[in-house]
């Protein structure tokens, strides 16, 4: 489904998005490049490739984007349409800062190490409990949700050349009202979830060869979706200035409770992806290289005979498909605090078979298009940082089809007074699922938004937060009929009981204007985080 920024999308996004879960890894060139950089960075000889020059400013920047960030019970926030089919990462309009073998980004913070022993084990654990009361415009009855999350971040150094890492987050969501708990909303009794990036990895360093074997699992508490990514990557130094990185990932998605395969194609699927980079170190500040990927997408089209009128314009069957991309890139490290990466190339999709949509039997053909991506991150000083991301690429959509997406986003954060931190971010996305594919007829959808956030230290332990966000969405070619405005505001407080225990309280409100109607909702969230 095209992620139309509308009332119907906001309502359905909470309950349906997970059902359309296909990994972007291996399809999106920018995602491939970011994952390969992370894998290269696990080799001590190439650690700068994955270095985040923003440092601790990354967390400040992400905190300033919390209000528009999609969350399960927020009933507000804005999905990135180009990532709508991906459950292996947090969905956000902001491109940079994502991690692939760790869940600690997008507002989640890794626990500090509490165990460090001579045997080589370093481990940090934490328990985070959120209790929230929310109401939706369609139901003014307050709803209570308990969401405990257990976090862990560990490293076991087997010897000088072998390392085992394990990191992740296990979450439960118990929804109820004032009288009883109610698990009927979930596909299981406890709203079980594994944070995207929950993984184990084994690294082996053999001088000029570095090997990483990993297994990553992501699960959503609604609709019972689970995805497992099993992979093997290697970085080989061909010479003192030339290196080659290759990664293979086998992804498998399960519709765990089995209730949705009766009418939505391709819910269960296998995906094989090979991505690679050949990197030439032109100088200490410039890398030039060749990047590419090939992906085989194999959906399970079990005939169940079910139908769903709400989705009768979707294809009856998802198609086997192959995706390719090849391009050139340059990566500059102008200083220790400035990184720039520019890439461009060609993408191609190839599908096999015919698809039936709206009673039209249409053959599928190859589609090729250019792509580019630009990423700039800079720590301006000890107090200020900013970053810019822009790109145009095709991404995997429902049933193994390409959709086109333009995106631009920018963020800046800095200290404006003693104890005061100001963060501003903006984003733009234009997303289109081509009607020519015979898959889904839809107009391009554009989304524009601004996030503002200010935090002020009141005392050494108490901090207040104030935030606001405005988002405008428009389906092109429909005039004002499909224009959407969303206004969000929040106030919160954070209090440190000890160095390892923090309390938080936040109130957030959301107002949506759609088709000359207004809808509002709100939520109150109390949180406790304890590191062991």
Question: What's 416's domain CATH number?
Answer: 2.40.170
The alpha carbon dihedral of 259, 262, 266, 271 has a sign of positive
DSSP string, 157-208: EEETTEEEEEEEEEE--EEE-SS-EE-TTSSSTT--EE-TT-EEEEEEEETT
Q: Note whether residue 1 is domain-resident.
A: no
Position 357 in a domain: yes
Cβ-contact 10, 258 below 8 angstroms: no
Pick from 29, 32, 111, 136: nearest CA to 392? 29
Residue 110 lies in a domain: yes
Radius of gyration of the chain (CA): 23
Cα–Cα distance between 432 and 2 in angstroms, integer? 7
Identify the pLDDT of residue 177: 58
Question: For each of the chain's 532 residues, which pLDDT tens digit applies?
Answer: 333 333 333 333 333 333 333 344 557 899 899 999 999 999 999 998 888 999 999 999 999 999 888 887 776 667 787 776 677 778 888 989 989 999 999 889 999 999 888 889 999 999 999 998 887 655 556 678 889 999 999 999 999 999 999 999 999 888 765 444 444 545 556 678 889 999 999 999 999 999 999 999 988 765 567 889 999 999 999 999 999 999 999 998 877 655 544 445 556 788 899 999 999 999 989 999 999 999 988 877 554 444 333 334 444 455 677 889 999 999 999 999 999 999 999 998 877 655 444 433 444 556 788 999 999 999 999 999 999 999 999 887 654 456 788 999 999 999 999 999 999 999 999 988 754 333 344 678 889 999 999 999 999 999 999 999 999 988 776 655 578 888 999 999 999 999 999 999 999 998 888 777 888 888 999 999 999 9
Residue 252 Cα distances to 31, 226, 308, 340, angstroms: 18, 8, 25, 33
Query: What tokens does 402 get?
Result: 């390409």
Is-contact 521 513, C-beta < 8 A?
Answer: no
**Inter-residue contact 140 to 529 (CB < 8 Å):** no
Token pair 């490739």 in the structure block, residue: 49
Which residues, 6+ apart, have CB-to-CB distance to 389 below 8 Å? Answer: 94, 95, 96, 373, 374, 375, 376, 407, 408, 409, 410
State the pLDDT at residue 218. 87
Query: Does a structural domain hold residue 2?
Result: no
Query: What range does the domain containing 438 cover?
Result: 7-531
Spell out the SS3 assignment of 305-355. Answer: CCCCHHHCCCCCCCCEEEEEEEEEEEEEEEECCEEEEEEEEEEEEEEECEE
The DSSP output letter for 116 is E
Residues 493-531, buried b or exposed e (16+ Cβ, 10 A)?
Answer: ebeeeeeeebebebebebbbebeeeebebbbebebebeb
Q: Is 407 contained in some domain?
A: yes
Three-state secondary-structure class, residue 259:
coil
Tally of domains in the chain: 1
- Residue 161 lies inside a defined structural domain of this protein: yes
User: Encoding tokens for residue 11?
Assistant: 């309502």
pLDDT of residue 80: 81
3-state secondary structure of 18: helix
pTM score? 0.86
């Amino acid at each position: 489904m095209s992620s139309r920024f509308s009332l119907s999308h906001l309502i359905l996004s909470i309950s349906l998005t997970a059902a359309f879960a296909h990994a972007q890894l291996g399809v999106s060139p920018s995602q491939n490049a970011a994952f390969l950089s992370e894998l290269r960075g696990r080799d001590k000889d190439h650690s700068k490739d994955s270095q985040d020059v923003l440092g601790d400013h990354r967390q400040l920047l992400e905190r300033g984007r919390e209000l528009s960030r999609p969350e399960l019970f927020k009933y507000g926030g804005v999905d990135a349409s180009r990532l709508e089919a991906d459950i292996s990462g947090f969905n956000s309009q902001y491109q940079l800062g994502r991690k692939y073998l760790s869940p600690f980004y997008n507002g989640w913070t890794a626990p500090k190490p509490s165990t460090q022993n001579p045997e080589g084990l370093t481990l940090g654990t934490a328990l985070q409990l959120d209790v929230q009361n929310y109401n939706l415009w369609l139901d003014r009855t307050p709803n209570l949700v308990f969401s405990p999350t257990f976090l862990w971040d560990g490293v076991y150094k087997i010897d000088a050349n072998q390392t085992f890492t394990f990191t992740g987050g296990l979450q439960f969501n118990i929804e109820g009202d004032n009288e009883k708990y109610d698990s009927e909303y979930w596909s299981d009794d406890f709203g079980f979830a594994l944070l995207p990036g929950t993984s184990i990895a084994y690294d082996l360093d053999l001088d000029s060869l570095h090997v990483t074997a990993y297994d990553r699992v992501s699960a959503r508490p609604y609709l019972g979706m689970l995805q497992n990514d099993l992979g093997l990557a290697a970085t080989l130094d061909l010479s003192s200035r030339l290196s080659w990185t290759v990664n293979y990932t086998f992804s498998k998605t399960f519709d765990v409770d089995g209730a949705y395969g009766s009418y939505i194609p391709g819910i269960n699927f296998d995906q094989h992806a090979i991505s690679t980079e050949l990197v030439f170190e032109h100088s200490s500040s410039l890398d030039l290289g060749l990047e590419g990927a090939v992906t085989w997408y194999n959906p399970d089209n079990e005939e169940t005979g079910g139908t769903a009128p709400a989705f009768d314009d979707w294809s009856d069957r998802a198609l086997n498909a192959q995706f390719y991309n090849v391009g050139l890139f340059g990566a500059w490290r102008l200083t220790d605090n400035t990184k720039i990466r520019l890439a461009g190339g060609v993408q191609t999709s190839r599908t096999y078979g015919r698809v039936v949509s709206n009673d039209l039997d249409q053959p599928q053909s190859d589609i090729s298009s250019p792509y580019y991506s630009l990423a700039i991150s800079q720590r301006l000083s000890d107090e200020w940082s900013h970053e810019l991301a822009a790109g145009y690429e095709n991404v995997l959509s429902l049933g193994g089809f390409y959709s086109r997406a333009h995106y631009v986003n920018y963020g800046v954060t800095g200290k404006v007074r003693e104890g005061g931190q100001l963060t501003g971010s903006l984003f733009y996305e234009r997303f289109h699922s081509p009607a020519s594919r015979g898959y889904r007829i839809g107009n391009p959808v554009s989304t524009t938004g601004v996030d503002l956030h200010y935090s002020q230290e009141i005392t050494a332990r108490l901090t207040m937060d104030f935030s606001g966000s405005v988002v405008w969405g428009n389906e092109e070619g429909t005039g004002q009929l499909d224009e959407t405005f969303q206004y969000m505001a929040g106030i919160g407080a954070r209090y440190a009981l000890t160095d390892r225990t923090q309390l938080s309280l936040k109130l957030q409100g959301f107002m949506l204007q759609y088709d000359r109607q207004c809808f509002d909702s709100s939520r109150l969230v109390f949180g406790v985080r304890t590191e062991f």
